[in-house]
Each structure stands twice: as C-alpha cells, then as structure tokens.
Homo-oligomer: A and B are copies of this chain.
Amino acid sequence: MSAAGGSPRRDAPLGVFDSGLGGLTVVRALRAALPDEDIVYLGDTARVPYGTKGAGTVTRYALGCAGHLVSKGVKAIVIACNTVSAVAPERLRVELDLPVLGVIEPGARAAAAATRVFKVGVLATAGTIASGAYTRALAACSTRIEAYGQAAPLFVPLAEEGWTEGEVPTLAARRYLEPLAKAGVDVVILGCTHYPLLFDVIEREAKAMIGPNVTILDSASVVAREVASFLRERDLLRERGAEAERDDVARTGRTHLFVTDVPKTFEETAARFLGEHAGAAEQIDL
C-alpha cells in the first residue's frame, strides 16, 4: 500500500525517522543490507531526546515526523527511535496507510531465537526501560523468557562525544552489565540507536563478566535484516538499474537527510553515527 492507497512503488524511498541523529546507525545498517534503496531520513533534532517525554507527547511528535516522510512518497517507514517504537507504532499503523516497522520487535525476536537460558538483558535509555516495551515484546515471543532491563544513561553522551574506548566507557559498561551478569542472561540487546558505537567495549566486558558465548544484539543491524526480508517478501525491493549492473557500482541508493534543527556539531556527529560523511541536511519545521 502506498500513501495514496495505490499499488506499492518499488522505486519509492524507504523512510526512516528518529528523535535525533542516533538513528543514522539504522541508516548505516540499512545501506549495508540494502545498498540499492533510496532512503529519506528525518531527525527531529529540535525536540531530541524523546526518551524523557511522556507517551502522548512522543506520539504527537512521531505523527508529525511520519507525516513528513509520507509527503516524500516513501514506500515504508522504519522507526529508528526506541522510544517511539515503544509507545507509538500501532497508532502510526492505524493513521498511515503504509507499512511501519519499529526497532523493538525485531530485536526481541532475534534475542528470543538466540537465548539458550531464556534470560535476556536489555540496555537502553531510562525511558525505554521504564516503558516495559522490550519485556512485553520478549514475552510475546516466548512466555518462558525473563527480561532484565538496565538503563544506561552514560552511553549516549559517550557515543556522541566519541569517547568509546578507555577507562570511563569500560567502567560504565561494567556498571550497567553487572545486574545483567548477576541475573544470568546469555543475550544482551542494545536497545538504543547510540549504543552500536560502544559495541566493542560492551562486548568485551560482557564476555568477561557473563561468559565468552554471550550474544550482543545490535538492534540497528537486526532491524535492517528484518526490513530486507519484509521488502523481499512483499516484492518491494528496489530494482538495481541496468546501468549500475553494467558499471558494477557498490550501491546506487541515495540518502536524503532532513532535520528540524541543525545541531552545532551536525557534520561530526552525523558522520560518527552514519560511519561516513553525511552530506548536507535540509532543515524543516514540523
């Protein structure tokens, strides 16, 4: 279904939105999994973060973001924001005549498939943990699974500052992993778009504290795989152009960035999350 209610357009872009720039880790994973797709990204940088805000406010903001993506003719919407994925996906599915994919359910499904002891840890913002969304999503996968949530507020500024190695990220990771290790989990979901930047230190400390077979699930990569399956099943994958085939270029998809405010360190922060130079962003008012 397209926004206009007609047949789906394979060549239409994928829409992705987040409260800020952290969702660019999802764009990075999508570009790796689906190099030929065009992506329209909206970061609501004027109102970031959503994690501390109430469900009504977050839902209102999410409807505004999704509306902008619909106006750009997207074929599906990926909610890169854990907070929005926790409170608003059903409302967005009802209001929009479009497929809407959040980050929480794919992460929960991957965790349920990976755990051998039926104990799963979740590291996320205080807001996401308090929402209980991962606990519900894991319970929907298997009633045997026990979920252990741990807020990790320091990880966001550490990721934004690029302070991803050394004693402070290590001590922070140990503090946040300690209750999960005590609980005996064997899978840890990184339930915030910022945390993939700290993947190495979290994985190293988790292996030391929990055991070498612990699985760390980066929800950006998980959701990208799920979006790829979703598009394939519904025959919505963008066709690779004959020209690209002939020239054997690595990818043909383009990314268009929209923000609601241009943060002072936009280029640096965006490049950190995207893993490459981000190009210019267009500022819009929601």
Interface string of A124-167 (1 = CB under 8 A from B): 00110010000000000000000000000110111011010001
Binds B, one of A8-16, A23-31, A47-55, A99-107: A47-55
Task: Answer yes or no: A265 CB below 8 A from chain B CBs.
Answer: yes
Chain B residues contacting A130 (CB-CB under 8 Å) are 264-265
> Considering the chains assembled together, what is the distance between the CA atoms of A172 and B157 in angstroms?
12
Quick one: closest B residue to A265, CB to CB?
A: B126
Q: How far does the alpha carbon of A106 sit from the alpha carbon of B156 in the complex, in Å?
A: 31
CA distance A175 to B171 in the complex (A): 15
A57 at the interface (CB under 8 A from B): yes
Among B52, B175, B261, the residue within 8 A (CB) of A48 is B52
Flag whether A262 is at the interface (Cβ < 8 A). yes
B52–A264 touching, CB < 8 Å: yes
Could you tell me if B45 and A47 are in contact, using CB atoms closer than 8 angstroms?
Answer: no
Shortest CB distance A203–B (Å): 20
- Give the contacting residue for A157; candidates B48, B127, B154; CB below 8 A: B154
Range class of the A interface residue count: 20 to 34
**For residue A161, which residue of chain B has the nearest CB?**
B153
Contact A167 B171, beta carbon cutoff 8 Å: yes
Q: Is the CB of A53 within 8 A of B158?
A: no
Bound together, the chains give a CA A272 to CA B168 distance in angstroms of 23
A46 at the interface (CB under 8 A from B): yes
Say yes or no: A53 contacts B57, CB within 8 Å. no
Question: Complex formed: what's the CA distance from A171 to B170 in Å?
Answer: 12
Report the minimal beta-carbon distance from A87 to chain B, rounded to whole angstroms.
Answer: 12
State whether the Cβ of A263 lies closer than 8 Å to any Cβ in chain B.
Answer: yes
The reply to whether B153 and A157 form a contact with Cβ atoms under 8 Å apart is yes
- With a CB–CB cut-off of 8 A, which chain B residues contact A20? 52
Indicate the member of A153, A172, A264 with the most B CB atoms within 10 Å.
A264
Most buried by B among A52, A126, A167: A52
A34–B168 Cα distance when bound, in Å, is 40
Which chain A residues have a beta carbon within 8 Å of chain B's beta carbons?
20, 45-49, 52-54, 57, 126-127, 130, 153-154, 156-158, 160-161, 163, 167-168, 171-172, 175, 261-265
15 extra interface residue pairs, beta carbon distance < 8 Å, beyond A20-B52, A54-B262, A168-B175? A45-B52, A46-B47, A46-B53, A46-B57, A47-B47, A52-B261, A52-B263, A53-B263, A54-B263, A130-B264, A154-B157, A154-B158, A154-B161, A156-B157, A168-B172
Pairs A–B under 8 Å by Cβ, sample size 28:
A20-B52, A45-B52, A45-B53, A46-B47, A46-B57, A47-B47, A48-B52, A52-B261, A52-B263, A53-B261, A53-B263, A54-B261, A54-B262, A54-B263, A57-B261, A126-B265, A127-B264, A130-B264, A153-B161, A154-B154, A154-B161, A154-B163, A157-B157, A168-B168, A168-B171, A168-B172, A168-B175, A171-B171
